[in-house]
Amino acid sequence: MKALLPLVLAMSLGSFATISSAHNHGVADVAAMADKIEPQVIKWRHHLHQNPELSNREFETAKYIEKYLRGLGLEVQTGVAITGVVAVLDSGKPGPTVALRADMDGLPVPEINDLPFKSTATGMLDGNEVPVMHACGHDTHMAMLMGAAKILTDMKGELRGKVKFIFQPAEEGAPTGERGGAEVMVEEGVLKNPDVDVIFGLHISANTDVGKVRYRHGGIMAAVDPFKIVVKGKQAHGAYPWKSVDPITTSAQIIMALQTVVSREIKVIDDAAVVTIGSIHGGNRSNIIPNEVTMVGTIRTLNKAARDHMYEAIPRKVKGIADSMRAEAEVTLPLDYSYPITFNDHDLMDKVLPTLVRTAGQENVINSKAVTGAEDFSFFQQEVPGVYLWVGGKPLDVSEEDSPAHHTPEFFVDDSGMKLGVKLLTNMTLDYMNASK
């Protein structure tokens, strides 16, 4: 893939080529400003890391961000999708509206890292007190966007149009019985008034070296579709199984058959898909065949065709096996939430690629494979063209194999990775605005 990058750049420079040469002084200015503000970005990150809050409960986080944005003299709106904060920077000159997004919520994970800014916070989840940690890097996302907001505000005279800073709650999913996140922000009009033309977002990566940025045209993160299957049979004594319609045996066959949807029906050389059963419950004694079994699982797909096929194939497989076993089965798909594919608009990705190279250096820009994790940034991308990137947070002296995974108590990213994120958010905004003349 590296050999293709110069050709891709030559084809994609287009209207950005003039901007790249005419505004090199701007890139240098942004780099210098990012250097200057880096200690403050780190300070913000440490505060946010030490004070995480769960999804739809980011009340103190929102107050902290609101106070900062108002201090920049920005027009600020609060309470968007419960705790979201949105600010607008208006250059006073005609031009596009560029949105920049960071997510705010932590996870119910205990932190075991020995850090000066280690989280010892707790929160309430489904009526239980749980530990809370920024175990996916949302603290860095907020800090990077705060840094970009400061630089762009200071460079207001060089802007054309408006910048909308979106601090989003509940990316990790709303609590039981609630809704939240990007989908609700879109419903409440976050991309309107002013109407957003494009949106950019970043995710820190614990498995990517500091200083590097990963991109991809098209699907970069999967759609996620949870589902539930309820298999209904006939209860009997475990010693007399012929008197039963066994929902456990039926469920076992369903679980194995669902794997053949991917292995035998999806063209795996072109598409990627995952179907996983994560929970199964049925019965309460060793010698009783129960009436019913409930399973819940998740589907991950990276394009619409594969997603549509999974929606058709799973009910078909479940019904066929249940019928063959004289059982009944109900499929609920999607179950409670559903995220679309995080899809980088091809044209916008072409336009942004030169900015990535100028900002990070060609050797640090990686054409990445897609991942089967999911992101509700995809709801914004359904409405307007968007680009989502991975920014390195792994210390250079740690191997990828030894780097702790996201969503774990050991999760760690280095503060030094944030400076590139600040520069990318700023330069993508400046270049897009200037290219729109």
CATH at residue 206 = 3.40.630.10
Check whether residue 261 and residue 358 sit in a common domain. no
Check whether residue 127 and residue 12 sit in a common domain. yes
d(C-alpha 47, C-alpha 66), whole Å: 15
Check whether residue 183 and residue 103 sit in a common domain. yes
Range of the domain at 424: 2-221+341-435
Check whether residue 104 and residue 187 sit in a common domain. yes
Which positions are annotated as active-site residues?
Answer: 105, 171
Nearest by Cα to 186 from 50, 399, 386: 386
Encoded amino acid at 254, one letter:
I
Model-level pTM? 0.90
Check whether residue 310 and residue 394 sit in a common domain. no
Domain boundary among 293, 310, 332: 332
Query: Sign of dihedral through CA atoms 413, 416, 417, 422?
Result: positive
Per-residue pLDDT, 27: 66
Check whether residue 187 and residue 238 sit in a common domain. no
109-120 tens-digit pLDDT: 999 999 999 999
Check whether residue 394 and residue 324 sit in a common domain. no
Check whether residue 180 and residue 278 sit in a common domain. no
Q: How far is CA 13 from CA 26, 349, 390, in A?
A: 17, 11, 21
Per-residue pLDDT, 272: 83
User: In the chain, which residues have pLDDT < 70?
Assistant: 1-27, 437
Q: At what angle do helices 138-154 and 24-50 cross, to 10 degrees?
A: 140
Residue 173 CB coordination number (10 Å): 21
Check whether residue 97 and residue 213 sit in a common domain. yes
Domain boundary among 290, 311, 332: 332
CATH number, domain with residue 324? 3.30.70.360
Encoded amino acid at 423, one letter:
K
Query: H helices within 51-130, ranges in order?
Result: 59-71
Per-residue pLDDT, 13: 45
Domain boundary among 305, 332, 359: 332
Return contacts of 315-320, CB within 8 angstroms, 24+ apart: 317/254, 317/257, 317/258, 317/260, 317/261, 318/229, 318/254, 318/258
Per-residue pLDDT, 15: 45
Check whether residue 102 and residue 14 sit in a common domain. yes
Q: How many domains does the chain have?
A: 2
Run of H or E including 213: strand 213-215
Nearest by Cα to 394 from 205, 215, 213, 214: 205
Check whether residue 202 and residue 98 sit in a common domain. yes
Per-residue pLDDT, 52: 98
Check whether residue 264 and residue 199 sit in a common domain. no
Radius of gyration of the chain (CA): 24
